[in-house]
């Protein structure tokens, strides 16, 4: 089953377009969780246990594991393996390099770690993204318009183009990514902090492209407008990613139940709007 | 000592602006080298032993280590630790994410692995690069105009700008990176396959920015034009990176001597032009 089918199946089964970020941050862990990779592993597994019926996907961010060196990569693999097989895993790693190098990143993510999708940076162009696209069953989640304030620095720069061409870099990236979608495995990242552009981009790319939408919660994006603007005509394929505001709700021993409560609150809103 | 000073010191000591890429590729290893991380470690150490007096820096590419999972990260750390302390190590990883995440990548590269410089992707803008720039003694090597053919897809797009503004995205990235250089630790990546743009960009950024120049060798870039166009007025700070054409010269047991011979040939040309 390819990534998109697996994603839709999980979303319909759990009645949810919520994706929970799994980003271990030792400065935010509950008080009684040991700050070793063993302690963190149990913490993340407990949160997975209490949220796995509420999500359409999980998104571990590689940076938060890489901070621990090789132990962190073992932890990342352990967490990926622990996630129920029916829930897709999106590895957030924002990779991209010349062809022979991107092939190695693809091996690392899709073969060694065995994730279902990977975030990819488009700055270097097609030949750097193609080695990921060649994995037909894997999702290639291309950065388009990101949720951070400095996304304006380059992504929102106006381009000199003809009448029917996109007018800003992020629009060109979206349109170009569509042209790369021969294997029906392209997805885009568009931040929840840009609701207008999200709606415009959903129209631009049509109904078949999953959009990963970070920025609801800690970064200030709005859930309802993200769903309304990001979903396709069927009310699908807007993946709402929330990390800190589900993972780090409580520093007490009730953290897993509190994570579930926060996830459920978000999912209830999603269900009210889309299911 | 900051990255730039360490780089110049190594370059002047070895009379070389050659940087050797250390990218383990099991399909290219010499016949008698065991394809385990133990075998690869010995292979890389042998090449370091025979080239360490010929380089200004080494550049391991993270992807080639990540393909082996946690074992690969241990291998990477082992190789970084093996490189003589006076030779700077540039980790090629093309990282970049929102602020709290880039901070974790910075911890992984600068603290856990202990490298002297890191390649960074600018697509997400300033707040994603700043956590790296905050490490004043570390080099932040920002992708500008890369050596691959598809660098034209986005980097060479014309922008709508005023009279005194850069006209293409890569030019804007170079000019913007200069404005980020408060800690004197910004470096740029400009491919050897673009000699004219390299010369133009050296003029644009002035004499104080190190430029990492990949693409000589397997990718077809020319050494002499890269040095002429990339060096500053003192004939310095053009870091010529060569990976495959030094590392994988021979599949026989003479590989380390052959790597040295190829590196020496390049260094002789560099010395003839710059020393």
Q: Which CATH class is domain A3-270?
A: alpha beta
* B60 inside 8 A of chain A by CB: no
**How big is the A-B interface in CB pairs under 8 Å?**
183
Residue A162 confidence (pLDDT) above 80: no
**Of A78, A131, A153, which to mutate for an interface test with B (greatest number of B Cβ within 10 Å)?**
A153
Question: What pLDDT sits at residue A164?
Answer: 66
- B117 with B91: CB under 8 angstroms? yes
Q: Residues A232-260: pLDDT tens digits?
A: 999 999 999 999 999 999 999 999 999 99
Mean pLDDT across chain B: 96
Of B73, B92, B148, the CB nearest to A73: B73
Whether the complex's predicted ipTM is more than 0.85 is answered with: yes
Whether B228 has a pLDDT exceeding 70, the answer reads: yes
Confidence of residue B57 (pLDDT cuts 50, 70, 90): very high
Q: Residue A143 pairs with which residues in a beta bridge?
A: A189
Cβ atoms within 10 Å of B2's Cβ, excluding its own? 15
- How confident is the model at residue A163, as a pLDDT? 63
Torsion of CA A65, A69, A70, A73, to 10 degrees: 10
CA distance A118 to B121: 16
Can you give the pLDDT at residue A161?
Answer: 66
Mean local confidence (pLDDT), A203-218: 94
- The pLDDT of residue B29 is above 70: yes
Q: Which residues of B touch A79 (CB under 8 A)?
A: none
pLDDT at B161: 67
Indicate the CATH number for domain B3-274: 3.20.20.70
Contacts A102 to B, Cβ<8 Å: 63
Neighbours of A162 (CB within 10 A): 5
Q: Which pLDDT belongs to residue A219?
A: 81
Check CB contact of B97 with chain A, cutoff 8 Å. Answer: yes
Alpha-helix runs per DSSP H in B134-254 = 169-179, 195-205, 223-230, 244-247
Q: Categorize the per-residue pLDDT at B63 as very low, low, confident or very high, splitting at 50, 70 and 90.
A: very high
**Residue ranges per structural domain of chain A:** 3-270
User: Taking CB atoms and an 8 Å cutoff, what residues of chain B touch A126?
Assistant: 150, 153
A15 catalytic per annotation = no
Contact (CB<8Å) B123/A100: no
**pLDDT (tens digit, 9 = 90+) per residue, A92-139?**
999 999 999 999 999 999 999 999 999 999 999 999 999 999 999 999
Per-residue pLDDT, B160: 79
Three-state secondary structure call for residue A59: strand
Contact A205, A190 (CB under 8 A): no
Gyration radius (Cα) of chain A, Å: 18
pTM across the whole model: 0.97
Question: What is the Cα–Cα distance from A228 to A4, expressed in whole angstroms?
Answer: 20
* pLDDT tens figures, B144-161: 999 999 999 999 999 876
Tell which residue, B236, B235, B225, B223, has the closest CA to residue B265.
B223
* Parallel/antiparallel/unpaired status of strands A117-120 and A90-95: parallel
């Amino acid at each position: 089953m390819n990534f998109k089918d697996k994603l839709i199946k999980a979303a319909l089964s759990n009645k949810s377009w919520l994706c929970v970020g799994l980003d271990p941050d030792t400065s935010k862990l509950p008080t009684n969780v040991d700050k070793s990779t063993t302690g963190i592993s149990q913490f993340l597994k407990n949160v997975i246990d209490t949220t796995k019926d509420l999500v359409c996907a999980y998104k571990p961010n590689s940076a938060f594991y890489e901070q621990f060196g090789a132990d962190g990569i073992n932890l990342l693999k352990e967490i990926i393996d622990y996630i129920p097989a029916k829930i897709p895993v999106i590895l957030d790693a924002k990779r991209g390099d010349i062809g022979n190098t991107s092939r190695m990143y693809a091996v690392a993510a899709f073969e060694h770690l065995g994730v279902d999708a990977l975030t990819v940076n488009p700055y270097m162009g097609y030949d750097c993204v193609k080695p990921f696209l060649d994995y037909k069953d894997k999702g290639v989640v291309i950065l388009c318009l990101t949720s951070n304030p400095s996304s304006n620095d380059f992504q929102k720069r106006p381009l000199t183009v003809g009448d029917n061409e996109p007018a800003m870099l992020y629009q060109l990236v979206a349109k170009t990514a569509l042209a790369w979608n021969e294997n029906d495995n392209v997805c885009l990242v568009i931040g929840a902090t840009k609701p207008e552009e999200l709606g415009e981009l959903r129209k631009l790319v049509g109904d078949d492209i999953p959009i990963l939408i970070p920025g609801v919660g800690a970064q200030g994006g709005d859930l309802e407008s993200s769903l309304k603007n990001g979903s396709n005509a069927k009310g699908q394929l807007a993946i709402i990613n929330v990390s800190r505001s589900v993972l780090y709700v409580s520093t007490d021993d009730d953290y897993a139940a509190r994570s579930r409560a926060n996830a459920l609150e978000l999912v209830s809103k999603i269900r009210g709007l889309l299911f």
